[in-house]
Each structure stands twice: as C-alpha cells, then as structure tokens.
Copies of this chain bind each other. A is one copy, B any other.
C-alpha cells in the first residue's frame, strides 16, 4: 500500500488537505508514484478511520485539513525501516522494444527516435525543476533534490541508450541491405 505511505510521508512534513496533497501528486510525486484524485480521497477516508491521520481543521469550501497522528508516524517509520520495497518495474515503452522486430526497419528506427526525443524532453523538464523550483533549505527538500537527481541521471541514460539503440538498428539494416 504505497499510496497510503506516500500520503503519510507528505503529512509528516505538515498538515494538508486532499487538494493540497493532490497537487503534489501532480508535480514532484507524479514522477515516482502517480495517483488520481478519486483514489486519494478514498484512501484519506480509510486512513482517518484507521487512526493514522485525523481531520484537525476545516476551512472554506468544505476543506478538511488532515494531520498525521502518532500512530501514523509509527506506521511510516515501520514501513521505511521494517519492510522491503517492492522493486518490480513496469515500462510500456520498453516492453514495445521487445517487439520492434515485427516492424519495418524504418518503423523501428522511428520508434527509437521518438523514445530518445521523449527522454530528452523529460530530461529538460527535470533540469528546469532543478534550476527554477523554489527550493527551500530544509531536510524534506534536500531529499526531494536527491530524488530528482535520480530522475536526471535516469533520463540522461535513457537518451543515450535510445540513440545507441537507434544506431544499432540502423547499422544492422544497412548491413543487411548492402
């Protein structure tokens, strides 16, 4: 239940509403653990029922501000230190590479080019965040930057791989048709 722990982690920093948390899922968290609005409100309700968080303030427009409880902090700590992360990994764009042999060499090359371009756009977006986001000198932000650095390196690796793969495919095609 990573969504639950993502919410606990954010609330450990400071109280927030579902709407506030959603904004973070649409920005920083989107790159490591995407979540939709409908999923969020449901989970917050269940977490409150379980005593991990509590409504500590209400505002205009039916706003509910949630705070993490001591039980919630315990659960967050338990998750981080006593459980192993699920390292399974899904990538539709990489899955497709397995099946590029069913396409013409031109189509396969086009796919890898688009892959490289997309990765380059991704990289540029991360660089923009690194250089222009309003970073504070706080511990949470230090770790956010460390996580971002992973994204940067990952995107760079992806660009390089896709260019290499494109060349690899092109070379084989040239050799086969020469």
Which residues of A come within 8 Å of B, CB atoms?
A: 2, 5-6, 9, 12, 28-29, 31-34, 73, 76-77, 80-81, 85-103, 107, 111, 118, 122, 139-140, 142-144, 146-147, 149-150, 153-154, 156-158, 160-161, 164-165, 168-169, 172
Task: Determine whether the beta carbon of B96 is less than 8 Å from that of A85.
Answer: yes
Interface secondary structure of A, over-half rule: helix
14 A-B pairs with C-beta separation under 8 A? A9-B95, A9-B99, A28-B98, A32-B94, A33-B95, A80-B96, A81-B103, A85-B93, A89-B91, A97-B146, A97-B147, A100-B143, A153-B161, A157-B157
Query: Assembly of this chain: how many copies?
Result: 2
Q: Which of A154, A160, A164, A165 has the most CB atoms of chain B within a 10 A radius of its CB?
A: A154
Task: Determine whether the beta carbon of B169 is less than 8 Å from that of A146.
Answer: yes
